Amino acid sequence: MLGLMDILTQASRLEALGNPTRLAIYRALVRAGHAGTPVGKLQETIGIPASTLSHHLAKLCACGLAGQTREGTVLRCRAHYDVMDQLVGFLVAECCVDAAAACTSEECDSPVCG
């Protein structure tokens, strides 16, 4: 019901967000909204060398959490909200957060959690 590929895919996204620098970058992307933001502006905002930023952006793009489109000399970066939705969906569905929240009683060996 859930392919191995999916798990590896989601793991790669979690890993990408697990680095504090990358999480900061991703948060900046999200805050930029659908309009996105150029790499250069992102660099100003976060304050890390361009090569480091590029490295992290490549990882965010590789796992699908972000995307880039060229606009002349500027490269505009955007968060892929739908992918984050997928990730949250995975965490909630696979890890039955809701079920756990709903049943604070000890009787949670239900099939929902198995």
Partner DNA sequence: GGCATATTTCGATAACCGTCGAAATAAGTG
Partner DNA sequence: CACTTATTTCGACGGTTATCGAAATATGCC
Q: Which residues bind a second copy (CB under 8 A)?
A: 7-8, 10-20, 23-24, 26-27, 30-35, 79, 81-82, 84-85, 87-88, 91-92, 94-97, 100-101, 103, 106, 108-110, 113-114
Alpha carbon separation from 96 to 4, 7, 17, 66, 99 (Å, rounded): 18, 15, 21, 26, 5
Residue with tokens 């090569």: 51
Strand-pair partners of 37? 77
* b/e map 21-31, b = 16+ CB within 10 Å: ebebbbebbee
Nearer to a second copy, 8 or 50 (CB): 8
**Interface mask (CB under 7 A) for DNA, residues 63-92, using x and -?**
-----x-x-xxxx-----------------
Stretches 14-22, 26-34, 80-88, 91-99: which one binds DNA (CB under 7 A)?
14-22
